[in-house]
């Protein structure tokens, strides 16, 4: 296994890290910065034959437009987005859709493409969409899901010799922990994962 330093990958990683840092701080500028990062990372993943991740960047772009509008309509007096609870039935429904998406995309990538890690890549892409949806809708539950997904991504990117991206995703884990703690501070009276039990 060899590791190549790609300046384009490094620049993409830095922009992505800034976007996640802004998200953890509940700042609406996370969305336009994130849009730049997903366009850049689409090329990185195509080059690495991680097609589900490349497609994921396109889906992220759509979620970014949605999330940016939604956040701008839900800013507090401090200019930061207000956190919203996630009802338990919606959380279960969304996770079920994540499983269905993982199986469907994994089967397509396995049987119809030369994807390097079709099943794993598809599962990570599918659950990343769930986490991104929750983030766009201002749910704290996005952060623990991001932690799990990003930890697994670190291993995938090391395996695919995308060292810069692996380091980036290790940083994403730390930023997700920071974001989870920061968002929970805002809503201490609510359940730990911000999932409403009613």
Cα torsion through 108, 92, 54, 58, rounded to 10: 110
> For 52, how many CA atoms within 13 A lie in the half-sphere containing its CB?
29
Q: Has residue 9 got a pLDDT over 90?
A: no
Per-residue model confidence (pLDDT) at position 2: 39
pLDDT (0 to 100) of residue 174: 95
**Among 126, 107, 105, 32, CA closest to 72:** 32
Q: What's the rounded Cα separation, in Å, for the pair 125 and 103? A: 11
Most confidently modeled of 35-44, 49-58, 92-101? Answer: 92-101
Contact assessment for residue 62 and residue 132, using Cβ atoms and an 8 Å cutoff: no
- pLDDT range class, residue 84, cuts 50, 70, 90: very high
Does residue 187 carry a pLDDT above 60? yes
Residue range 111-148, pLDDT digits in tens? 998 888 899 999 999 999 999 999 999 999 999 999 99
Q: What is the pLDDT of residue 1?
A: 38
The domain locations on the chain are 7-196
**In whole angstroms, what is the distance from residue 26 CA to residue 82 CA?**
8
DSSP conformational letter for 86: E
């Amino acid at each position: 296994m060899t590791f190549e330093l790609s300046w384009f990958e490094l620049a993409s990683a830095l922009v992505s890290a800034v976007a996640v840092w802004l998200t953890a701080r509940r700042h609406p500028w996370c969305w336009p910065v994130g849009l730049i990062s997903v366009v850049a990372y689409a090329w990185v993943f195509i080059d690495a034959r991680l097609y589900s991740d490349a497609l994921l960047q396109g889906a992220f772009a759509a979620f970014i437009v949605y999330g940016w509008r939604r956040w701008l309509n839900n800013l507090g007096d401090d200019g930061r987005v207000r956190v919203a609870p996630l009802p338990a039935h919606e959380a279960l429904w969304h996770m079920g859709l994540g499983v269905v998406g993982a199986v469907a995309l994994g089967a397509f990538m396995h049987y119809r493409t030369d994807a390097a890690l079709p099943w794993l890549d598809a599962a990570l892409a599918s659950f990343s969409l769930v986490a991104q949806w929750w983030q766009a809708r201002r749910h704290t539950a996005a952060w623990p899901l991001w932690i799990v997904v990003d930890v697994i991504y670190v291993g995938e990117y090391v395996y695919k010799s995308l060292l810069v991206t692996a380091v980036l995703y290790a940083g994403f884990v730390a930023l997700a922990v920071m974001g989870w703690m920061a968002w929970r501070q805002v809503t201490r009276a609510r359940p730990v994962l911000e999932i409403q039990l009613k």
